[in-house]
Chains A and B, each alone.
Chain A
Amino acid sequence: MNEAIDLFFTASLWAAVFRIATPLIFGMLGELICERAGVVNLGIEGIMTFGALSAWLAVFHGCDLWTGMLVAAASGAAFGLLHALLTVPMAQSQHVTGLGITLLATSLVSFIYRLAVPAKSTPPTIMPFQPVDLPFLNAPFLAATAPTYLALGLAAVVAYVLWRTPLGLAIRMAGEHPQGAQAQGINVLILRTGCVMVGSAIMALGGAFLSLAAFNSFVINMVQGRGWMALALVVFGAWRPGLALLGALLYAWFDAYQLRLQHVFPGVPYQIFLMAPYVLSIAVLIPMSRRASGPQALMMPFVKGER
C-alpha cells in the first residue's frame, strides 16, 4: 500500500500525465469547436487515427516533424469538410455521418498501412519529438514535448476566441440559435462548415501526437477509443475549454496512476486496468449530462427556409 502512495510523488508520473493528456486535449478542443457551432462530430476517432497515420507516413518519407503535423491537420480538415458537407448544407443525420466518417477513415488507414508496411514485420520507427524546455517555463521534470505546449496554448486561444471575439460570439450563437444568427446576418452554413473543418484539423493533431511524440511509430488501433473519451470530456467540461482541460488532466492522471498500479497489484488481470479509462469516461458522463446545458441547437440541422 505504501508503494501505491509513493507512486504519487514520482516525477515520471507527472511527465506521463501530460503525455497521456495531450492527445485528449487536442481531441477535446477540436470536438468542442464543432459542438459549440452546433455540429456533433463522431468522426473524431477515425480522424485521429488518420492523423496518426498520415503524420507518421509523411515523416517516414522524409518530412520534418512539424510538416508531419501539418499533413495530419490537412487530412483532418479534409474529413471535416466531408462531414460538414453532409451535415450542414445537406442536413443529414450528424450521428450517422460521423460514424460513417470514422469507419471510412479507419478502413482507409488499414488499407494504406497494409500497403506501406508489409505484414509480419515490425513497423519502422521514426525519430519522434524530443522533450523541450521553454525559456520562460522551467519544468524539466515534465519532459514535455513541443506539441504538448501547443495543446495547452491552443486551449487558451480557443477560450479567448470563443468568449472575447466577434467570431467566437457568432460561433456560439450558431450553436445556440442558428435562426437568430442568420437573422443577424451571419452565414450559419459557412460558419459551421469552417468550424467543423478547423475542429477536425485540431483533432487530427491529437492523433499525430501519438505517432510522432508519444510513441515513435504507428500501429493499427493506436488510438484505442481516445476519440470517444475526448467526446466525454467535452460534456464533462460543460463545453468550456478550461474546465475540459482540467478534466483531461485529471483523467490522464488517473490513467497514468493506474498503469503504475498494475505493477503494484500483479494478481489482478491487466485487462481490468485497461478497462479503467473507458469505465471512467462513462462514469464522468453520468453526473455531467444531467445538468448539461450544451449548445441548444446541437445536433439540429439548420435548414434555411424551414421554420
Chain B
Amino acid sequence: MSDPRAATTPVGAPALRLQGISKRFGEVRANTDISLTLAQGEILGLLGENGAGKTTLISILFGHYVADAGQIEVFGKPLEPGSQRAAIAAGIGLVHQHFTLAANLSVLDNVLVGTESLWQAASARQAARARLRTLSEKFGLRVDPDVPVHRLSVGEQQRVEILKSLYRQARVLVLDEPTAVLTPGESITLFDTLRKMAAAGLSVILISHKLDEVLRVADQVAVLRAGELVAQRAARDLDRATLAELMVGRRVVRPTRKPLPVGDVVWSMRDAGLGGQGGRSHLRGATLDVHAHEIVGVVGVAGNGQQALLELACGMRAPRAGAALLRGQIVDKPRHRSLRAAGLARIPEDRHREGVVGDLALWHNAIIEDLADPRFSSWGWLRKAAALDYTRQLIQDFDIRCAGPEQKTRLLSGGNMQKLIVGRGLAAQPTFIVASQPVRGLDEGAIADVHARLLAARERGAAVLLVTDDLDEALELSDRIVVIQNGRLSAPIAAQDYDVATIGLLMLSEQGETHAA
C-alpha cells in the first residue's frame, strides 16, 4: 500500500532529528539540551538508567508534553509540539512498556479503534482484517485478529502493540523496554522482527536499560544520563563496560555475592498446588527448599505462576494440594500475625499498589504490617510515640531521604519508598525474606543499596526467595536458580552451572509457541 507521505519526503532526510530539547518539571531537569539524529532504516538504542530522562524524551516526541526549548523534525518537516495526533500523522508509533490494550476487546478492535473517522456510519472491519493479516505476515507477527486480548500471552500482546503502530503506517517506531516481559528466546525473535522492519525502511528507537541486547541489535547507541545526552556512537564502537560507565558516570560497583555454606532449611514446599485467577497464574506439584544463608532466585516470564508462588510464600493463601512449611511448621491457615512472629518479611513487586498506602504518613506505613505488635499498640489503641521513634530509627538506619516520620508517604521518591519497605521488613531480623522484583524502576544507586541489604541479610543467616523477571539480577544474587514455567518449577540450577541459553529454553512453554495462532 503506497504511502502518500513518501512523495513529499526529501530524499536522504534523517527520519528523526531532535535539536536542543529541554524540559523541566519544577526543580527537576528531566531533559537538558538533547540533540539526536536517527537515519532512515536505522535502529537506535536509547540507553539510560531509571530516571535518566528517556521516558520524558519519548513523551515529548509523542506529543504528551511540550518541550521548554528545542524542536523536532520528522523526515525533514517540523513536528507540531504537544499534539499526539500530529505525531501519529507524521508517522511516529509508540509501543508502550505497559501495554495499552483493552483486555475485553479483540485484537482487531484494539488495532482498529481510533483509525476511522468517528462520524463514519459503519466500520470497515473486513478490509481492516485483511490489511492486518497482510501486515502480520509481512513482518512475521502472527496473531489471530478475532481473539480477545485477555487470552493472549504477553509476547503475543506485544505483537499486537507493534501491529497497532504498523497499521497506522508508522515510519518511526519507538519501543519502550520491549524485552522486559519476554523470554530470551522471544527477545531474539523480536530483534529479528526489528531488523526486518529496518530493512523495509522503517526506523526504530529501542529504549532499554539492558546493555547486551542493545549492543546486539542496534546500529547506533545514544546514552542519557541525568537528563543529558552523554554519547551517541555506532554500536560496533562500544562495549558493555564503556556503556555501563557512560550510563552511570562512574565505574559501576554492584555488590558481589560471596559463596557461603548453607544452613538448615528455613522454608519449603512439598508438591504444592494452588489455583490462580485465569489460566496461567497457578502452581502445580511445586517442591523447593530454601536454606539459611542462601538466596534462591525464581525466574520466568511474567504470568507463569509467580503470583501463586508468591501468595504461597507470603502466607497469603494456603496451598490447595501439598504443603508449605516455615521453620518446620505447616502453613495451612494463613495468619499474618503468626507468620510475622515466625520471622517472615516480604517485599512486594508493586510498591505503590501493595507496598504502601500513599496517603498515609510514613510512620503509619512503617508499622502497618505489625499493628498487633505490643510495641505499637495496646488494647486496640495505637502507641504513637513508640511508632514515631521506631520510624525515626528506620529512617536513620536505612538512609531514607524524607521530611520526617509524619510526612505523607506518597511524596517519597521510588527509591526511598522502596528503602522504607525493605527497612520495615528487615528491621526485625527476619529469617525468611520473600522479595518480588525488589529493584524494579529504581536507579543504580538504589539498586545497589537494596541488593546490598539482601546480601547482608543472607550473610546474617536469612533465607531469601527472590522472584524476578530480570535474569541479570537473578544471576548476580542467587546461589541457586529455579525456572518457573506454566506453574511448574524446574530443578534448581547451582551457581557454577549458570547458562543463559539453557535457562532461556526452560522459560519457554513445552509446546514451543505460547498460543496457537
Contacts and interface: CB of A to CB of B under 8 A. Distances in A.
A181 B105 CA distance: 12
B257 interface: no
B151 to A, nearest CB: 13
A173 B106 CA distance: 11
Given A165-B121, A165-B122, A169-B123, A184 B102 contact: no
A188 to B, nearest CB: 11
Contacts of B407: none
Interface stretch (B1-9, B108-116, B451-459): B108-116
Contacts of A182: 84
Interface string B381-408: 0000000000000000000000000000
B119 A167 contact: yes
Interface in A172-196: 172-173, 176-177, 179-186
Given A185-B84, A185-B88, A293-B104, A180 B119 contact: no
Interface in A226-243: none
A118 interface: no
A182 to B, nearest CB: 8
B100 A179 contact: yes
B117 interface: yes
A167 B118 contact: yes
B123 A184 contact: no
A181 B122 contact: no
Contacts of A293: 104
Contacts of B120: 165-167
B342 interface: no
A294 B117 CA distance: 26
A157 to B, nearest CB: 12
B85 A173 contact: no
Interface in A79-132: none
A170 interface: yes
B123 A165 contact: yes
B131 to A, nearest CB: 15
A179 B94 CA distance: 13
A166 B123 contact: yes
B119 A173 contact: no
A135 interface: no
Contact of A183 (B94, B103, B109, B119): B94
B123 A177 contact: no
B289 to A, nearest CB: 39
Contacts of B64: 305
Given A183-B96, A184-B164, A169 B113 contact: yes
Interface in A144-180: 164-167, 169-170, 172-173, 176-177, 179-180
A43 B98 CA distance: 34
Contacts of B88: 185
A258 interface: no
A281 interface: no
A64 B157 CA distance: 55
Contacts of A296: 102-104
A165 B109 CA distance: 11
A295 B104 CA distance: 8
B101 interface: yes
Contacts of B100: 177, 179-180, 183-184
Contact of A170 (B94, B98, B118): B118
A142 to B, nearest CB: 31
Contacts of B164: 184
Contact of B102 (A166, A173, A307): A173
Contacts of A164: 122-123
Interface string B124-151: 0000000000000000000000000000
A39 B164 CA distance: 26
A80 B100 CA distance: 28
Given A164-B122, A184-B164, A170 B114 contact: yes
Contact of A176 (B98, B103, B114): B103
A184 B115 contact: yes
Given A176-B103, A177-B101, A180-B100, A169 B121 contact: no
A170 B94 CA distance: 19
A259 to B, nearest CB: 39
Contacts of A181: 113-114
A163 B152 CA distance: 22
Nearest to B65: A305
Contacts of B110: 173, 180
B102 A180 contact: yes
Given A166-B115, A176-B103, 11 more contacts: A164-B122, A166-B120, A167-B119, A167-B120, A173-B105, A173-B109, A176-B104, A180-B100, A185-B84, A185-B88, A295-B104
Interface of B: 64, 84-85, 88, 94, 96, 98, 100-105, 109-110, 112-123, 164
12 contacts: A169-B105, A169-B123, A173-B105, A176-B103, A180-B113, A182-B84, A184-B114, A184-B115, A185-B84, A185-B85, A185-B88, A185-B114
A-B pairs, top 5 by smallest CB distance, nearest first, are A184-B114, A180-B100, A176-B102, A166-B116, A177-B102
